[in-house]
Every structure is written in C-alpha cells, then in structure tokens.
Structure 1
Amino acid sequence: MSVYRFQKSTIRNILLHRMDNFDYDAFVIYNPHGKDQEFVSLMTQVLTSPPYNLRLYVPWSDNNEPFEAVATAENIEKRCKKVLVVISAESMESDLFHFQLRIAHSMSPSAKTRKIIPIRLDGTEVPDMIRFSTPCDYYKQDLRVFIWDRIFASFKDYSRPKKSKSKILVENESNCSIRPCWNLYKIL
C-alpha cells in the first residue's frame, strides 16, 4: 500500500512540475544570415542580462554538433518554455525557418498556451499559422523602447491564479443569508 502511495505521489509531482523543469526560457527561431543574426545577438545580450535574466536557446550558438531536425524538435518540446520567432523577409524565404515554425506550432496548436512569440524586424506579414499571436514590431521606431519589456511580459504565467494569503473573516455567520432573487422583487 505504501509503495502505491509513493508511486501515485511521484507521478502527480512529475505531472505538476513538468512545465517548470525547462533548461531554457525560450527557443529562438531565426534565419542565421544577415540582419536576423544581428538582431538575435542584440536580443540575446539584452534579455540574458539584468533585469530580465532570461535563458535563451539560440540554435547556431548553443549547440556544437551539426544541426539536426530531430534535435530541434526535442529542444523546442522538452527544453524550452516558449518560442521566439524572428520574422523578416529573409527568414520567410528559408525552408529551415518554416520547418522550425511548424514544429513550434505543433507543440501549441491553439492560443491557449501562448507558447509562440513573434517578433517582426520589417513589415513582413506574420505567417498564417501564428497570426493568432500579437507580434512585437521591432521595425517601428516609436515602439522599440517598449519591445524588451513586452517580450519579457509574455513570459509571465497568467494561466494559474495566485493564491490569496489573506483570509476573509465573517464575525457572525448566522446573520449572513442569501435571499433568492424572486424575493428581492417582492421587496422592491
């Protein structure tokens, strides 16, 4: 009986903490050529330093082995909480970009988990499969001041409500009564 309880509690703990045991906060999907690479290096500098302190998985700088599709799918699924998608004209022409984007979309097919965070470097439209997400527009000069805070805010977990530490105390519960709504019409 105690072994069963141990197994049951262990399985429950694994399921409860599955979302919290990631190596990285985000996987970065981008085209490693041109201005995409420059932006990703700037983004990595800003978001990995204080006050943000995020852990970003950048494929061409974090792994030393040859890039493989299976490794990408595993890294997106098991090691990263979210996916940052850097969208530009060059990235839209890359087959590897579209492959990684399809993998990321298959991990969160609806907007409920909000796993994909698109960042637009130019006026290129967001791909149809992730158009449900609001993109961060880096190409707009007046919004650049807020982009790092917007990206960081998207990492907050709004799905679980915080438990309140304060308790509501009722002095005399016998005086508390709830009247049916049809009785209220009689009073009025």
Structure 2
Amino acid sequence: MHAVGYGDVFPVTPLGRVIASCAALSGVLVVAIPITIISTNFNGEYSKLEREREKIKSRMMLLRQHFKARKAGLDAVLDEVADMVRRNTQEFESEVSSLFEQARAELTEEVQEVVRMAFERRRQLHLAALAAGRVQGSITVEGQLDVTDAATASANESRPLSSSNS
C-alpha cells in the first residue's frame, strides 16, 4: 500500500499503515502550506513585475511619441531655418543686384557727364583757336569737331590731287 521510497522498510500491520498514512498526509501538509505561501508571494511579485513592465512599456511609448514629435518639431525647425536662409539669400541677391544696377546707372551717368565736359572743353578750346585764327573747321550737328590745323589746311589747298603713289 504505502512505501517510504526505499522499498526495504514498509509497514506491515494495520496500525503501522495508519501511522504511515498519517505521516504521509502530514508531510504533504507540511510541504503544501509553505508552497502555497511561496506561490502566493511569487504571484504577487510576478504581478508587480508585470505592472512595472507595463509602466516601462507605456513610458517607452510616451518617449517614442515624444521623440517622434520632437523629431517632427526638429524637422519643422530645420525646414523653417532652410526657408529663412533661402529668403535671406534671395533678399541679399536682389539687394546686391539692385546695388549693381544702381552703381551701373551712376557710373553711366558719370561717364556721360565726363564725356560731355570733355566735349565742352574741347569745343571751348576750338572756339578759342578759331577766334585766334589758328584753326579752320566747324562743329558738326552730331557734336563732332571737324578741326583742321591752319598750317595743314593751307598745305592741303596748295597740293594737287593725284593718284596714290605714296
């Protein structure tokens, strides 16, 4: 009926069998009580560990969402900076282009003024030379001076026209 596990000693009398059965039941009870306490504590710790794991998972999800939002925010900031650089570059290019156009217009105007002043000075000198009788010539409609030195003009008048032998 009951054996102690070695197979060499076992109860033979009915009273021995009852005592062996009681010892076996009390052994099971002695082992079962700590096992239930241990399993209850184990289940409590396992549940606590699962709750902590869920907290960690939820925190990880929050962090992922935060970093996704932050990354999206950083991408938005990066796009805004790129747009700002693009706008500033375009403004700078248009400003430089405007300055070049303004400088070109001013330089053209100044060159025209210098040419006009040089022409006026040359005309005054020619008029003075005409008045002194040293130069023969006139000013054309286009503003060109047709100046001939008096000595050259008299030499050309005295020279006969010939074919080009020179």
The structure carrying a bigger helix percent of its residues is 2
Normalised to the residue count of structure 2, the TM-score between the two structures is 0.18
Normalised to the residue count of structure 1, the TM-score between the two structures is 0.17
The structure carrying a bigger strand percent of its residues is 1
Higher RCO (CA-CA < 8 Å; seq separation 6+): 1
The structure whose Rg is larger is: 2
